[in-house]
A = this chain, B = another copy of it.
Amino acid sequence: MKKIYLDNASTSFPKPKCVIDAISNYMTEIGCNPGRGAYEQSLDSGRMVYEARKLINDLFNGPSPNNVVFTKNITESLNIAMKGLFKTNWHIITTSMEHNSVMRPLRNLQDKLNITVDIAECNKYGVLDVKTVESLINDNTKAIVMTHCSNLTGTIMPIMEIGKLCREKGLFFIVDTAQTAGIIDIDFDKMGLDILTFTGHKGLLGPQGIGGFIISDRANKITDTFIEGGTGSESHLETQPNFLPDKFESGTLNTPGIAGLKASIEFIKNVGISNIRQHEKNLTSLFLEGLHRINNIEVYGPCDAELKTGTVPININGMDPGEVSYILDNEYKIMTRSGIHCAPSAHRTIGIYPKGAVRFSIGYFNTLEDIDKALYALKCISN
């Protein structure tokens, strides 16, 4: 039986072949570390890294390739962003649909920096009303940090409107694009972002182990370093360099990961994000329609594929989500993820805490056949 992967919100799979080839080629042909003024092969490595920065900056319409910083994953990016930018006693706004990668560092900063946090409640579809956010802004509010899209319901957030609000009110704006980068158009400039955090291994179709962020010059000015160490620059100084991207990139870079991410972004550019989005939207529509025709199934999140990504959480009445996922894997070779998805607040928001849900998440490499088989399996299990 052919395996069907529907856990793309966790990591995309498979990866385009060019990604794996790029990593192998890098490791075989270049392999060494970037270095200024070193040998040719090291300069090749540096050029590859720069080209990757440029691709990412172009993809997101960032301010400059040097404002693109590489990290190991978006969780590190979010930690650097919040811990570096937020100052003592700041008031911060976030939403009730956030992943623990936002919630847990915020909790830490409440203790360490005495920041205060207000959470904008979303409705039971995970939809955020901009007015709710606006009503939480006070004289001490300095920043909004939020996801571009819920990892539980796939609900797309009104980033453009919140960005406009941030500009009007002079707030810093940090966005978690874990669920949207590579799938939905993101424009750093038009969306009024200060820190766009991204991960390489989900919609961007790259390997696990590489992520990053793009930071505005105004946010960078007051953002502290997070990891200090060797940068290959200003090596005579025992203080961290103050310029981008070195300020935030200490130690050896994940160059094989960057080579893989570079290849995957080239792949995405060739396919076109709008085509990727259209394909995923079509499959999501069909999946949602099919789900609504099956008895005993509860579907969470928006019903309209236009308002969401391909992430669809469901429950079968009377069954534990873990049991459903187990049967899907064991009997139908369909891979999904059950539980709280590192987003307890989001589960509370849509009213399924602590039960959780079975999360299906559609990716670019899924087919109509995958959706049909998933629907067939759910029909059998729910009967």
B-binding residues in A (CB < 8 A): 3, 5, 7, 10-11, 13-15, 19-20, 23-24, 27-28, 31-33, 35, 37-42, 71-76, 78-79, 99-101, 103-105, 107-108, 199, 201, 207-211, 225-232, 235-240, 250-257, 260, 322, 325-326, 328-329, 335-345, 353-354
Instruction: Check if B23 sits within 8 Å of A256, measured CB to CB.
Output: yes
9 contacts between A and B (CB under 8 A): A10-B252, A23-B24, A73-B252, A76-B251, A79-B250, A107-B228, A235-B342, A254-B257, A257-B257
A241 CB to closest chain B CB (Å) equals 10
Instruction: Check if A39 sits within 8 Å of B75, measured CB to CB.
Output: no
Instruction: Check if A32 sits within 8 Å of B20, measured CB to CB.
Output: no
Instruction: Check if A235 sits within 8 Å of B35, measured CB to CB.
Output: no
| Besides A37-B338, A209-B209, 17 other A-B contacts (C-beta < 8 A) | A10-B33, A11-B252, A20-B28, A35-B337, A38-B325, A38-B335, A39-B335, A42-B335, A42-B337, A75-B229, A79-B226, A100-B229, A105-B228, A208-B252, A230-B342, A254-B254, A257-B257
Q: Which residues of B contact A72 (CB under 8 A)?
A: 71-72, 76, 209, 251, 254
Instruction: Check if A235 sits within 8 Å of B340, measured CB to CB.
Output: yes
A210 and B345 alpha carbons, distance in the complex (Å) = 32
Q: With contacts A230-B75, A257-B254, A342-B231 known, is A104 near B238, CB below 8 A? A: yes
A204 and B227 alpha carbons, distance in the complex (Å) = 23
A340 and B233 alpha carbons, distance in the complex (Å) = 10
A34 CB to closest chain B CB (Å) equals 10
> Of all chain B residues, which has the CB nearest A80?
B227
A237 and B104 alpha carbons, distance in the complex (Å) = 9
A99 and B210 alpha carbons, distance in the complex (Å) = 24
Q: Which residues of B contact A252 (CB under 8 A)?
A: 10-11, 73, 75, 199, 201, 208-209
Q: Which residues of B contact A256 (CB under 8 A)?
A: 23, 207-209, 256-257, 260
A336 CB to closest chain B CB (Å) equals 7
A61 CB to closest chain B CB (Å) equals 25
- Ranked nearest first, the 7 interchain pairs of A and B with the lowest CB-CB distance are A209-B254, A75-B251, A230-B342, A75-B229, A104-B228, A101-B229, A72-B72
